[in-house]
Structure 1
């Protein structure tokens, strides 16, 4: 009996690609890039793709179809999705679409610690992020505009989501930077120390003593 395979965005994407046709790992990586899926799954490191394929195979979700041998290229193993893989693909897809996952992105974690810096230090840092977010949004808009006419909307619907998220963050960052620049968002060590003394751990004990 094979152990269950933990779902992952890359694992799901590999299974979906193998629904279309059998592929070897290099072909999977190239197709991911051709379809623009590197926007939503990490395919920069081939080692990660190979580890994902190994997990899917050991879990019985994909199987070796055949091995390609060509003098011009190294030997390539071609994989196909199994019936168990087809069932798992649907299960993972429904779960990922319907249930928000508790994730812990880097940026909110850093924001929660931004009070260690002064407001005039945080403002230019967030301006650098804003510039990068704007560049990402612009590049994605350009990519979306270059798609062939008549392409079904569903094939690039993840780009709509990413543009919505990038646009929302861009607007939020502009507002926060403006508030930092005009002083409506500010703090100091003294202010934080006073808050901690009044509301921090042990404050109630100090009041009762």
Structure 2
């Protein structure tokens, strides 16, 4: 089975106790893991559970029916699942992965835009990230107020540092665009593009 952050999260939560899919999704949100794992679509969670079950990493523990709810299947992690989850976790922690997010790809094509368009877009990104950082600071403050151990919040700390660094860089680029320190001409870029093979 191909590893994924969602698959790892499902197996990690099932190490605490057997759960049904709704319980898994609820814990992901309750513990703030939805900031690092995409569970916006419940179908992706169900597909991941199906793949983990087919791979023998989790198993059906019981199927129950409550009058107030539809039939619920409760899953638990297998010994093989525990071993694979540990292996994935150690590898994900130790080995940087070449990931291809949208933002660096967009940066690589800035020449399609005028400097003012770039500044406007980057300024919008700064505003969005400022809001994200403020919400994250609120969450971190609330979490420490509830006595959650720091080890359970390291992903939020990491996200905060990354966002703060990106904001600092974005502001410096925007300032350089405003001052003219970051400038180019179509002729200059055409000459660069026509370098001999």
Interval containing the TM-score (normalised by the shorter chain): over 0.9
- Map 1:171-190; keep pairs closer than 5 Å: 171-190=168-187
Which residue in the other structure is 2:188 paired with?
191
Q: Secondary structure at the match of 2:62?
A: strand
In 2, Cα distance between equivalents of 1:109 and 1:149:
39
Give the count of matched residue pairs: 196
What is the CA-CA distance between 1:120 and the residue it aligns to?
1.6
Which residue in the other structure is 2:152 paired with?
155
- Greater CA deviation, 150-159 or 168-177? 150-159
Instruction: Work out which of the two has the higher radius of gyration on C-alpha atoms and give 1 or 2.
Output: 1
In 1, Cα distance between equivalents of 2:190 and 2:6:
45
TM-score (norm. length: structure 2): 0.97
- Give runs of ≥4 in structure 1 deviating > 3 Å: none
1:115 touches 1:187 (CA, 8 Å); kept in 2?
A: no
Query: Which residue, out of 84, 105, 108, partners 1:109?
Result: 105
What is the CA-CA distance between 1:72 and the residue it aligns to?
1.0
In 1, Cα distance between equivalents of 2:191 and 2:91:
46
Q: Secondary structure at the match of 2:190?
A: helix
Q: How well do the aligned residues superpose, as a CA RMSD in angstroms? A: 1.0
Task: Give CA deviations for 1:54-83 in whole Å, capped at 9, x if unaligned.
Answer: 000000000000012011111010000000
Extract unaligned runs of 5+ from structure 1.
205-209
Extract unaligned runs of 5+ from structure 2.
none
1:17 touches 1:28 (CA, 8 Å); kept in 2?
A: yes
